[in-house]
Structure 1
Amino acid sequence: MGTEVGIAVTVVYSAQTRDVVEETLRLEEGTTVEQALNASGLALPTPAEGVPLGGQGVWGKKVGLTHVLHDQDRLEVYRPLTVDPKVARRERFAGQGAKKAAGLFAKRRDGAKAGY
């Protein structure tokens, strides 16, 4: 049984919702995030195309392009946010309504104000 040299890194990118591309790469020790992205061959948008990336991270923790990868790392390429999370939450809340018996307000104490 031969041993493989280097590290195994999985690169994950989703250009749109429910469309995930995942590729496992065999790279040399000391490979940076930028080198791994270039080696991945994924069709990642570039700032020159006018489509900015939302950044990148390893196992959900944001890292820079110079971060050195380790064996079994999962390199995730993020899309930019299209909606501010606070705005999205407010819109969901407005749709549920504080006076309706839905979501967070399905259970209310007798005599309690709406939303409590």
Structure 2
Amino acid sequence: MDSPQILVEVAYAEPDRQRIIPLMVENGATAEQAIVRSGILTEFPQIDLSTNKIGIFGKAASLQTPLRAWDRVEIYRPLLADPKAIRRKRAAEGRDMKKR
């Protein structure tokens, strides 16, 4: 028999602080419902669910993804720089250092 409520977490982090909020939601609740119910949007008003991507335990998910017990909904910040471009730049700098 399914429990009427499940325990999940909603997580968001900035460079200087992070917040993980455990909460009970109805069985079958979506990621968006958990985010709204957690109150994290009030605590971090810069979160915009129309642009911020989300995931569940590091795997991309949509706002409409139904949650399971113990899921952690993660709200991601926009990237400030392209990680591939940064790696290419570091690799190029490493080659330049070897030529000296």
Distance 1:65 1:21 in 2: 19
35-44 vs 72-81, greater mean Cα deviation: 35-44
- Aligned residue in 1 for 2:64: 66
Percent identity reads 35
Q: Which amino acid aligns with 1:63?
A: A
Count of residue correspondences: 93
Do structure 1's residue 11 and structure 2's residue 10 form an aligned pair?
yes
Higher relative contact order, chain-length normalized (CA < 8 Å, sep 6+): 2
Extract structure 1 runs of 4+ deviating beyond 4 A: none
Higher share in helix: 2
Written as runs of structure 1 = structure 2, the 5 A alignment for 1:32-71 is 32-42=30-40, 43-44=43-44, 45-47=46-48, 52-53=51-52, 55-71=53-69
Q: Which has the larger radius of gyration?
A: 1
Do structure 1's residue 98 and structure 2's residue 100 form an aligned pair?
no
SS of the counterpart of 2:78? coil
| Unaligned runs of at least 5 residues, structure 1 | 102-113
SS of the counterpart of 2:84? helix
How far has the Cα of 1:22 moved from its partner?
0.7
Q: TM-score, normalised by structure 2?
A: 0.79
Q: Which amino acid aligns with 1:66?
A: Q
* CA deviation map 1:84-107 (0-9, x unaligned): 111111222234x22646xxxxxx
Written as runs of structure 1 = structure 2, the 5 A alignment for 1:79-94 is 79-94=77-92
Distance 2:78 2:5 in 1: 31
- Aligned residue in 2 for 1:78: 76
Q: TM-score, normalised by structure 1?
A: 0.69
